[in-house]
Structure 1
């Protein structure tokens, strides 16, 4: 009986095991994927499956947006998906296969004028060919000025002068609401409270690339409904190197935004240069040729303008900018030896010029922001005062003083651009437009006893089109520009046309890791000196004919970049190749009579290949570290000169954000220069470190820093040409301690503080009543 019972129990257990295995084998594993409307994976989405209002199962999407769950049988279910940054999804579905269609979640459209934690947008979003960074209230509160706000964004860095770099590259076009400000820095006109979002593009359209820009930063402002005023004042206490004063103010009044400002920059360069030459190639018997020093240089700038926001979709603007420069170079001694004739001279070189710019802007957007029209026009006038540009030479041995006029320029130009942008769906964009540029220049050029007058005019008409598209993790773009160029230099007249393409492909392995390969051709626009076919010849110098053919001025470049971003840090590696043909190159050589010769010849090629590494780390709120290292090989070759070198650029910076609003910073830059023939050249370096303290809610900054723009303080350069040997000793003592202050004010900030105090007072009053 006991044995029979044991067999029965074993039989029952086996039956239950078999039913359990059968039931498990009958379960169906269902999988799917969750994407944004731009085909980006959504992680951490909550997926719940219901049947007859009862929860069947649930799961969470992984990093790639994939999810899986098990069900007992196919049939009708209700699928619900939720995510903090996207609209909830709920749909009745008939599950009849193990693979569900991909589900697209729409981003939540909230009013983010004042962002709270519960309704906060993600800091980073992916746009069409650009990265979008939404500025949160916490980011604004941490920033006393726009510079401090920008460095919170990965890939962006701004120095004290508000110069922006993107991934270590300084060729950046900075715009505000799609408008460019040309020689006026728009960061001087903004306060952190005004900025809503910032878009960054490292693959700009073909028309932007052909202007020489590698990146575009567009700062989008919030629409101000109330009157407000903001501005800043920057002052560097005078020291042995420079004196700097600048200020700007912006006034918002209804639909109007008016701005203006002034900058004064006075720089002194403790610079001396001694030049020696010897025809026999021996350093023991060098003959002293020259001893020069640089006197102060003064630069002033006035700027102002106004924007009118007709409505949410239309705006117009005008701006003016006047910049002037005064520079003076002192020749303590300049000697010339020719046969048995020795002459000594002392003198100074004056250079003054002014540049006036007047620009206009119009922008129109469609109701859904999918279409945009921009029209820009710029008039520029560059002129020099004839009485303020000259060179004086004094000859003590002959008791004589001679004045030589330098190059006098009087240049007028007009640049008009019309651009259309269309977003085709959620993943494609098409841009096209036209650009017209006309310049006329009347120039008087004098080189010692040789005078020449250059009448120069150029007309450039450009049409361009650019298309970009994104499919899943792959994005690509193709741009093509056509330029018709009609140039006239005195009696020389030539018309040219050129095509310049811009293409690239980018693949995103994940949201953090991507690889990009791009190619572009850029038309270089030479100056009148490079195009003037006139030939200067006299006893001291020879300048050969220029080259007026546009086809001799271009640049091809290929770039392969891989970047990895996480939180507010990134690392990027670039492999690049560039080939440039520039019609003219200035090369200093020596003749057999010890005379200096400036030889202007056609460059056969200028090639550059190398690798760049950019790293920016913000692991903690109190630490920012960045470095950019570029190692490359340059090969330069023209008719009389060849050079093949390997060199590197190194830039590093560290900022420590300490308690009590103290900031400690260190900047270092090293750029090894080229080795010429068998000579030696020391590396110019720059080193800067200091400490700053913020007061009054980061509105006031006091800074003290030690700066050394060049060290070592003395560099020696030796180079050989044939049997002649030259040596140049340059001394630069740029060491100085600088003190500066910066004040940023905003009426909106004061109004917010007043409102908070008012609420606090009212609440206290209610408590007292109770």
Structure 2
């Protein structure tokens, strides 16, 4: 009953967070503020229900600051109940009469059910999902933390999100055009790399924002994934330490240390995360290219080390003004080894063998300064924020290439080296203003400037003997790419609460966007044992564009009753080509394939429509939704022959714009509690889309447009079994259905995990264990017919055992700093990383 009441109020009246309608003439209202009995901190999103003779009449949820207001009540006696997960229920008899229509209960202190360490973040045992007006919020519990050592590992266990096991590419609702934010802010680090740097134990929430409002940056067709990290602002000294080891083919370690010290008006905080380990995987591709039939075998092994450090300070100048500063320092180093063998079936072709050793290093520095002023009017505030980051990326890869004739003799032997240096500077400046015009109206205004500059230099050197001729050669290529992007925007949001049933928000964002890109290439070839001579080829390309665009958004929330609520929303989005999609510098290469960008790419625009329905039952809440996307100038993959390869065997993988496209889907998720000892989170989704692109006709060599209709189905089920107060077990299962691209069909994959958590040291410590992919079913398998028959599979360390330990220390009473997180569009407490 407790869980039911909480979910009823939480999901059916979420719109009341904006404002409350004034009471009718012949009705009353009750209000108050929910706080923690021990820490005196406000509790947001607690369920408040009003009962008449034991039956729920209506309810609300507390706002972030703990306040609640329930209007339009008949003048009579009621019972008011307050419930929140992890706290004991609170009950109080109240009476509304003609002489006392408006009842303010003041501070309502609720008590935690279990002993908690004061001032330190408490991680729930079980993850749960909350549907809000414009997003789904996944509150990360110990079950998700134990599913992997990094953010990348646990994302596959989040509904509607998936991570490609080979490329680590992130997708939302079956589409990889998704924007990733950390605490509401962008990062220069590639999303795939960034998610592997963040320790899973540092994550508090994952927000899935599939239809963002005008306040958000409009990039990302599928929407935004915002990862919120743990924070704290407790008096005195406190913190936590998390450490764990994953045992697979090779062991991997993951640790995080969180420290916080608050004294007087100043709060200092820091976080350090460390990841170390070897990732090993292998695979094969069997290709039936006519006349060039072959079997390719791949082996990869990478040693990764990453350090993530955050240092920050909050200065409470007075009750109205707050100044905050923090810096992030990320260092990632990878040493890799790989080999590719191409074995041709026919006698007329030479087998190829390529091995490589590479060293990659990525360094990112981020500096953030924010100032917030609260006006005298309650809820009115203005915030200024400036963010600057610099990323340096270096790569040094050395290749050995051998080609053997059909009789096994060496046909050619060459060595090559690729050196890549890249620097990206990113500056973002925001000013945001919020003004509650009345109890039922709120206005938000803001402006934003983003400036990005990227410089890449790529040097390729190749040396060896060519076609077994008696001379050696050296070939040098020097590529330089400079990219500048400037975006200036203003936005406004206007929200309205009509009554206890209807709430809405409309918004408009206006942006001016301009880019410029310069690409220069110089190639030279030197012949050493003939008459020395050289030839130089100089090529230059320039890309420019400027666009003025309007992005509207609209949200409507309708609460039928305490059991049923609907949400309707619309937003316009844009997918601007990334630097990797534009840059003509190669991203990766194998003997038969190379990936590079297309400087001529145009942005793609998407109109997104979405409807969600929430139903509260005796077991819990169930949310279902449907969405439709209309996509213009869609960016998609193209495959064509390398024009510099006379054999027409080597392919180029790139990008291009195509005609308009449609995508739609359905999804459902549920938080259910069957008994006191058994609870579950379940989700399922199905996506329908048309994939467009261009492939080269294997017979004619002509680049032809192609398309394929795709239906994809996915489902997840996470069970939690409570054995004792301190011991819990988890059983997780997932199924990812077949998917289609232009070239191949990706086969289905599925897995099952088991785990447990055990509390020690009177709840201050937790031991976590998890066995992932117990039946070893996970692999990336594919089968295709375009442009010719090919099939294969890739395997990685999916079957692993994780053991981890978490310990919280320190004390002090919490005094939260209320500060808007940019792009999170919600108030978060400042402090620990």
TM-score with structure 1 setting the length: 0.73
CA deviations 1:621-665 (Å, max 9, x no partner) are 533200110012121113433121111121211112221400101
Q: For residue 785 of structure 2, give the secondary structure of its aligned residue in structure 1.
A: strand
Listed as ranges, the matches of 1:572-721 within 5 Å are: 572-581=623-632, 584-588=635-639, 593-639=648-694, 640-676=705-741, 681-708=746-773, 711-712=776-777, 716-721=781-786
Change (3 A) 1:521 1:419: same
Match of 2:326 among 313, 319, 324: 319
Question: Would the aligned equivalents of 1:544 and 1:599 in 2 still touch at CA under 8 Å?
Answer: yes
Shift of 1:180: 9.9
Match of 2:507 in 1: 479
Shift of 1:703: 1.9
Match of 2:417 in 1: 404
Q: For residue 530 of structure 1, give the secondary structure of its aligned residue in structure 2.
A: helix
Change (3 A) 1:104 1:446: farther
Match of 1:51 in 2: none
Match of 1:74 in 2: none
What is the distance in 1 between the residues matched to 2:158 and 2:281? 33
Question: Would the aligned equivalents of 1:555 and 1:581 in 2 still touch at CA under 8 Å?
Answer: yes
Shift of 1:681: 3.7
Change (3 A) 1:162 1:268: closer
Listed as ranges, the matches of 1:176-191 within 5 Å are: none
Match of 2:122 among 134, 142, 146: 146
Shift of 1:32: 5.7
Change (3 A) 1:87 1:454: farther
Listed as ranges, the matches of 1:22-41 within 5 Å are: 33-35=27-29
Match of 1:506 among 557, 567, 571: 557
Shift of 1:413: 0.9
Question: Would the aligned equivalents of 1:494 and 1:549 in 2 still touch at CA under 8 Å?
Answer: no
Superposition RMSD in Å: 4.5
Residue segments in structure 2 that go unaligned for 5+ positions in a row: 1-24, 33-46, 60-70, 81-90, 132-137, 162-171, 173-178, 189-193, 404-409, 463-475, 519-541, 695-704, 815-833
Question: Would the aligned equivalents of 1:380 and 1:414 in 2 still touch at CA under 8 Å?
Answer: yes
Match of 2:534 in 1: none
Match of 1:137 among 95, 112, 115: 112
Shift of 1:427: 2.0
Match of 2:516 among 474, 484, 488: 488
CA deviations 1:715-750 (Å, max 9, x no partner) are 54221234x322223233421222211112232389
Shift of 1:668: 2.1
Match of 1:299 among 306, 319, 322: 306
Is 1:527 aligned to 2:578, yes or no? yes
Is 1:255 aligned to 2:282, yes or no? no
Q: For residue 529 of structure 1, give the secondary structure of its aligned residue in structure 2.
A: helix
Question: Would the aligned equivalents of 2:29 and 2:101 in 1 still touch at CA under 8 Å?
Answer: yes
Is 1:413 aligned to 2:389, yes or no? no
Match of 2:243 in 1: 234
Question: Would the aligned equivalents of 2:400 and 2:416 in 1 still touch at CA under 8 Å?
Answer: yes
Change (3 A) 1:694 1:553: same
What is the distance in 2 between the residues matched to 1:678 and 1:187? 35
CA deviations 1:423-442 (Å, max 9, x no partner) are 12222211110010001111
Match of 1:243 in 2: 253
What is the distance in 2 between the residues matched to 1:478 and 1:561? 17
Change (3 A) 1:186 1:587: same
Change (3 A) 1:237 1:66: closer
Match of 1:554 in 2: 605
Change (3 A) 1:602 1:539: farther
Change (3 A) 1:697 1:562: same
Question: Would the aligned equivalents of 2:366 and 2:387 in 1 still touch at CA under 8 Å?
Answer: yes
Is 1:454 aligned to 2:506, yes or no? no
What is the distance in 2 between the residues matched to 1:249 and 1:256? 14
Match of 2:811 in 1: 747
Listed as ranges, the matches of 1:17-166 within 5 Å are: 33-35=27-29, 43-44=50-51, 62-63=57-58, 89-92=96-99, 105-110=102-107, 115=109, 120=110, 137-138=112-113, 141=116, 146-148=122-124, 151=127, 154=130, 156-158=138-140, 159-160=144-145
Q: For residue 353 of structure 2, give the secondary structure of its aligned residue in structure 1.
A: strand
Q: For residue 649 of structure 2, give the secondary structure of its aligned residue in structure 1.
A: coil
Listed as ranges, the matches of 1:436-451 within 5 Å are: 436-445=449-458, 450-451=477-478
Question: Would the aligned equivalents of 1:611 and 1:632 in 2 still touch at CA under 8 Å?
Answer: yes
Listed as ranges, the matches of 1:202-351 within 5 Å are: 205-208=213-216, 210=218, 226-236=235-245, 239=248, 240-280=250-290, 286-335=293-342, 342-351=351-360
Change (3 A) 1:391 1:222: closer
Question: Would the aligned equivalents of 1:370 and 1:423 in 2 still touch at CA under 8 Å?
Answer: yes
TM-score with structure 2 setting the length: 0.68
Q: For residue 721 of structure 1, give the secondary structure of its aligned residue in structure 2.
A: coil
Change (3 A) 1:378 1:408: same
What is the distance in 1 between the residues matched to 2:782 and 2:203? 45
Change (3 A) 1:546 1:501: same
Change (3 A) 1:511 1:347: same
CA deviations 1:306-336 (Å, max 9, x no partner) are 1112223321111111222233443323449
What is the distance in 2 between the residues matched to 1:611 and 1:82? 39
Match of 2:387 in 1: 378
Looking at secondary structure, tell me which structure has more helix per residue: 1
Change (3 A) 1:313 1:200: farther
Match of 2:44 in 1: none
Shift of 1:142: 10
Shift of 1:481: 0.5
Question: Would the aligned equivalents of 1:684 and 1:711 in 2 still touch at CA under 8 Å?
Answer: no
Match of 1:56 in 2: none
Q: Considering only CA atoms, is the larger Rg found in Structure 1 or Structure 2?
A: 1
Aligned residues: 652
What is the distance in 1 between the residues matched to 2:458 and 2:389? 21
CA deviations 1:355-402 (Å, max 9, x no partner) are 2111112222234532021222111111123xx432422437368552
What is the distance in 2 between the residues matched to 1:636 and 1:168? 23
Question: Would the aligned equivalents of 1:480 and 1:499 in 2 still touch at CA under 8 Å?
Answer: yes
Q: For residue 268 of structure 1, give the secondary structure of its aligned residue in structure 2.
A: strand
